[in-house]
Every structure is written in C-alpha cells, then in structure tokens.
Amino acid sequence: MSEPDLSFLDPAGRQPAQAARTPGPTAPAPPPRDDGSTATGTGEGLVAELRAYQAELESQNKVLRYSQTVAESAYERFETLFASVPLALMVVDEHDMVVQANSMAHRSFQPTERDRPLTALMPFVRSKDARRVREAFALAQDLGRGEVKEVVFDISADTRITGDLHIAHIEAPQASGPPLSQFLCAVIDQGPLLAERQALQHSAQTLQQRNEQIRASEKRLEAIINSALDAIICVDQHQRITVFNPTAAALFQCSASDALGSPLERFLPDAAQALAFAQLTTQALLGEMTALTASGKELAVEVSVSFERHADGETTTVFARDLTGRKKAEAHRSELEAQLRESHKMQAVGTMAGGIAHDFNNILGAILGNVELAKADCAPGSPVLESLLEIDKAGRRARDLVRQILTFSRNEPPQRSAVSLAEVVHDTERLLRVTLPPAIELHMHLQAGLPPVLADATQVEQALLNLCTNAVHAIQHQGIERGSIHVEAAAVQPDHRLSERLGLAAGDYVALTVRDTGPGMDAATLERIFEPFFTTKPVGQGTGLGLAVVHGVMRTHEGGVDVQSSPGHGSRFTLYFPVASSATPAAHIAPVVLASGALAAHPTATAPGDANAPGKKHRVMYVDDDQALVFLVQRLLRRRGYEVSGFTDPHEATAALRAAPQAYDLLVTDYNMPGFCGVDLVREARRIRPDLPVALASGYVTAEIEQAALAEGARALIHKPNDVEELCATVQRLIATSAAGDDTA
C-alpha cells in the first residue's frame, strides 16, 4: 500500500518567517575618526552618509515587507491545504491534546453532535491498539516520524474507523522561550481497502471451497465411472478415446492403457457413424450394435451416446451395455415358454384324449359284449361265427388303441417296480430282429452293470418298440437302401440345465438312446412329434400315436424324453428312467383292486358257483348312463345265473337301494355320469348298507379317482372295456368274498 507524501506538512522543511528575510546590503559602518589627520565634522559629509544609510534602510524595509508577504501567503496556503486535504489531520501536543484538526478529522471523529468531541486522540484508540500507538509517538519523538497500521478508533458504540496512523514530530516556535514539541497526525481510513481485502479473502476462500468441491466431484465422478456396470468410453472431437473405464476394459478385453488414444472404430465400428447426431441433439439411443473385442470377437451390446460442447471442443460419451447375459436369459425364457406351451398343449390333448376314450370305451364294451353273446348263440361251424370273430378281433384292436390313448393321457397308471433295463432291451431286441428288414442293421451298446430302474417293463418295451419302429419307417420312407439303428444304454446324472429343460428331478438316471441314420426332421416337425394322431407316414401306415405313447410313458415314469434331429443327420431319442432305490415304491392300483389289497390284473374265468346253486340267486345292481351297456350287462350276468337290476339314472338306483337295502348282493356303478359322480353313489350306498360290496367301473381313471373310490369303501376298480369273462369273474369274486365274510361272521 502506497503511502502519501506528507513532507509538505513538516514545518521543519520550511524556514521561519524571521529567517526568510532576504539579506540586503549591509549599512556602511560609520567612518572611523582620525583625530590627527581626518576632518569628520563637516556637515556635507555627514548628510551624505545619513542619506545613504536611509536609502539602505528603505531598501531593506522593502525586502522585509516582501518576505513577510511571501510568508503570510505560504501560511495561508498551508492553512488552506491543511483544512481541505481529504485526510483526517490533527496537531497533538505532548499531553495528547488536539491543538488543531481539519474538517475531515472532525467529520470522521465527531460525525454528529451527540458524539464525543475531538479534544484528545488516545480516548478514541481501541484499548487493544493503545500500546502500539504510544510506541509510535515515542518513535516520532526520537526519529521525527512514526506510523501504526490498522488502528481501530472507536467513535461510538456503533461506529468505528480502521485506519493507518502517521505521526510527524514538529516544533512550534514561541515569542519567548524554547519551541513547543507537537505531533502532526494523519489518519488514512483503510475501511474500503479492508472491505475489499476481506471480499478478496472471502472470494479466495469461496474459490478454494469451489475447487475442493470440483475435485471431490471429479473423484465421485471417477468412482462412478470406474464402478459403473456399463462400459463408458469418452472420445474427443477426433473420436480418440480419452476415458476407458474398467467395465469397458473387461467387456472389450483390453486394458485402459492400451485403449486410450485408440479410435472408437476399434471397438464399435458402427457407433462412429452415429456421432453425426451431435449437431442435432445432446443424447441419442443407438440401440443394439455389434462390438469387437481386442482379439476381434464379436459382442452384442446396447449403445447410447451423450454429446457435450465446451470451450476446448466437443466430448462424446459412449455407454455400451453387454447384451450377452440378456440374450441368454431371453433364449432360456423362450425355451421355458416353449416347454410350458408344450406341457399345456400335451395336458389339454391328454385330457381330451381321456374324455374321448371314456365314451369310446362304452361303445367298445357294448360291441365286444354283444359279440360274446352272439358267439355263444351261434352253432359251431356257422358262417356267422367267422364274422363275429373278425368283429371281435377289430374290437380288441380298437381297445388296444384306446389303451394307448389312455397311456398317453396318463390315465392308466403303470406297474412300476425295480426292472433290469438290459433284460427289457434284450427281450425287445429278439422281437425286433425278427421283424427288421434285411437292409437295416440293429446295433446294441449297453453299458455293463446298469443299475435297475423304477419302471413298468411292459411300457418300457412298448416305448422302445415304438421308437425302433418309427426309425425303420423313417429309413424306408426315404428310399434309403441301407441304414442302421443304434440302441444305447448308460448310467448318467443329467446336469442342471438338462434337468430343468426336461423337468427331471435331481438324481441318477439310466439313459436309453435310440439313434437312426434316417432323413431326420425339421424344426416344424419336431414341434409336433408328440401330438396324438400327428404322423408323416402315408395313409394306412400309422396312427400317429407311437411317439405320443412314448411321451406318456416317460411322464408316468417321472422321466423325460430328449429329441435331437436335423434334416439329413438322422434322429436321436434319449429316454431318461430314474434309478430304483433300495426301497422300491409300492405298485400302483391294477385294473382290478380288491378290498383286501390283492391284485388281479388278469383274473381267470370261474364258474358261477353259488349263482347256480338251487334256490339261491345273487342279485346285482348295475348303474351306467349308457343304456346299451346296461342292457348288455344284464344279458351277460343273467346267462350266468345272476339277477340284474339295471339303472341309467343314479338317483333312481339310490332310491331303489334305500327301499330294499338287503335285496342286493353287489353294486357296480360307472364313475362318470351326467350330473352325478360314481364316487357319490358309492358313498351313498355305503351309508345305506355298509357291508354291501361296491365296484367302480370307468374307462377314465386317474390316481385321484382311485384314491377317492377306495377312501369311500369301493372293493374294486374295473377299467372299461374289459372282456366278458373278466367282468363275470370280477363279479363272482366280489360276491364270493362277501359271502365268505358273512359265513365267517
């Protein structure tokens, strides 16, 4: 801070008025007298001397008056300057009394009349600065000058001045005696400068805080960029990479040091063309693109860009998100959705097939039963008997077809037990080798020591036979001269993905594979191969139930079937059967289940026994909504000595049983009747007469139906359509068991 030059205020630089007289010619000393030789008493000489002396005095007076005028003028200029200088000036004596003060000093130290008068300087000095001020006065006393920086002067309770105090020592002359010691004090107000300094300091502090915030923001931004899950790449106006975060380094398999400075086209060849959008928008979503790793491997990424303009040019930030995981998830989801649709479709088709089989069973039962009655009425060797035998053969084929439909729809539970898959395969091999064409070779590859599987041997053989038959037809249909079928079996443990895709539970399995060298199948055919009645064979060469039955067999066995095929590369079917544990599960309910739990899958025909005894006829109540079946059963059982009461309305049957509970020895009822359930009739019959044997007959039996029937007390479940002898034997067995129980009682 520059200091004002106050030397013009120092009286020491000025000459006193009495010392400013211009020296004039010195008056000649009176001539010395020489008594001996010079005559001094003459009048002319004395007058001349006096005149000369007077002239000299007048000249000196003129000079004196001029000097006095000049001094007075200088004093007036000093007073004017002292009064009008824009500084607070005060003359203070040795006792701190203000001898003289200019108008600026009065305005500064006594702005209002209520303020303290400016009579002394030290009362205004803040106590904290008083010592420094006294030291400055002492220094001025010794050296002539002194100063104190930033002294606070308390003017009032609310007003204060902060300024620099400059002190100059002066001596005021007196008419008599030594000069007085005084101090000329100048107060330079530093308030505006201090305010500016404080403002600058505050600005500097604010700027420092702002810089710290910017540095912290940069660190946060760097942390965000480095921890982002998306690849972040910044490029300059020349499309050179300036930022390459760790995710980008992992995604593109390139270190940041190697990527910095590289062109964007190195990793995103198609994104560079889209940077032309920078003139149109600040952000753009470019969508899915193909990216390249440092090794040239292609990746599917989703790209978006952000454009930023600044003084140094333009910066483009590219965000790239890896779509590999998403595409895998979408593919997996599509696969699961396809499996779900296939499952729903197969479930719906199975339900439909079961319903159709129920009605068809009634028709077949009536046909086969009436054929048996007609055969019994024909004489041996009659031409009609030959026709009846053909009808019976066709009916039985139809019955087998219905059983295949039921197998597909999972309505006919298998007899599962620990089965040696190798033995089943060898038994099927003997049958296949007899029927295989000479141009087709059959190869067996069975792993040694295969564990037993929990399966129904008959259904496993049926599934294997269907697969091999389909392979033979596929090879022959394409006119291939020679072909081969490979049957393989090995113990496996499916991985998680295969188990999830096929719906397999965790555990050990035996994989039975049938592989052929046929023409293979396209994707459209693969989607429909398990649909019932779907076939690619010519008319009359297939029903389309072969693979549907295989699918049903594997579902009832809690296994799975995997198909791999493509045009020109043959087909490969793999069946996964669960390995049987040490504790083999109990077998499912057979076609006929007695109350005692004994199985009678193929009951032999027995004589009517007590039914033909003299004086005793057993009475059977048969309930079915199909009038033809009721009429047929009545005729069949009456020929064997039973009294049969047939009903097509279950409500009428209930009323008849309630009217005469002891009049019936057996109740046989259909399960599915319009507006009524056979289980309800079983329950009502047991309520009316608890000891009455009851059998439930149906062609659409599920595990739930079996459990509900047995829970209500049914003695047997009869699967329709059955042979006449089988039905009669079942009726006779139930009545005989009931009669034996009564005799024992």
pLDDT of residue 611: 44
Distance (Å, rounded) from C-alpha 601 to C-alpha 6? Answer: 136
| 314-347 residue pLDDT tens | 788 888 888 888 888 888 777 777 766 766 666 6
Average confidence score pLDDT of the chain: 77
Distance (Å, rounded) from C-alpha 360 to C-alpha 741? Answer: 37
pLDDT of residue 139: 93
3-state secondary structure 658-723: HHCHHHCCEEEEECEECCEEHHHHHHHHHHHCCCCCEEEEECCCCHHHHHHHHHCCCCEEEECCCC
pLDDT at residue 419 tops 60: yes
Residues 6+ apart with CB under 8 A from 297: 253
Cβ 367 vs Cβ 395: under 8 Å: yes
pLDDT of residue 19: 40
Distance (Å, rounded) from C-alpha 684 to C-alpha 435? Answer: 54
Distance (Å, rounded) from C-alpha 485 to C-alpha 552? Answer: 23
CB atoms within 10 A of CB 560: 23
Question: Token pair for residue 67?
Answer: 């000097």
Cβ 257 vs Cβ 244: under 8 Å: no
Distance (Å, rounded) from C-alpha 199 to C-alpha 676? Answer: 99
| Position 478 confidence tier, pLDDT thresholds 50, 70, 90 | low
Distance (Å, rounded) from C-alpha 676 to C-alpha 43? Answer: 187
Note the pTM of the prediction, 2 decimals.
0.39
Distance (Å, rounded) from C-alpha 630 to C-alpha 653? Answer: 13
Cβ 715 vs Cβ 582: under 8 Å: no
Cβ 617 vs Cβ 637: under 8 Å: no
Over range 188-210, report the average pLDDT.
87
| Position 20 confidence tier, pLDDT thresholds 50, 70, 90 | very low
Over range 232-249, report the average pLDDT.
87
Long-range contacts for 468-472 (Cβ within 8 Å, ≥24 apart)? 468/428, 468/432, 468/442, 468/514, 469/546, 470/546, 470/547, 471/514, 471/516, 471/518, 471/571, 472/436, 472/437, 472/440
Distance (Å, rounded) from C-alpha 574 to C-alpha 558? Answer: 14
Longest distance between any two alpha carbons in the chain, whole Å = 227
In this structure, what are the phi and psi dihedrals at residue 234, rounded to the nearest 5 degrees?
A: -105, 135
Over range 545-559, report the average pLDDT.
73
pLDDT at residue 132 tops 90: yes
| 613-652 residue pLDDT tens | 444 678 889 898 888 888 888 888 888 888 888 898 888 8
- Name the residue with higher pLDDT: 242 or 434: 242
Over range 229-252, report the average pLDDT.
87
Residues 6+ apart with CB under 8 A from 361: 402, 699, 700, 720, 721
Distance (Å, rounded) from C-alpha 554 to C-alpha 563? Answer: 13
Q: Minimal CA–CA distance to 456: which of 335, 348, 553?
A: 553
Burial 125-140 (b: 16+ CB within 10 A, else e): beeebeeebeebbebb
pLDDT of residue 128: 92
Distance (Å, rounded) from C-alpha 406 to C-alpha 313? Answer: 77
Integer CA distances (angstroms), 623 to 362, 371, 395, 522, in order: 13, 21, 23, 50
pLDDT of residue 136: 93
In this structure, what are the phi and psi dihedrals at residue 307, rounded to the nearest 5 degrees?
A: -110, 140
The lowest-confidence range among 124-138, 187-201, 401-415 is 401-415
Tell me 287's DSSP state.
E
| 520-550 residue pLDDT tens | 777 766 666 666 544 555 444 444 455 777 7
The lowest-confidence range among 45-49, 319-323, 429-433, 599-603 is 599-603
Radius of gyration of the chain (CA): 64
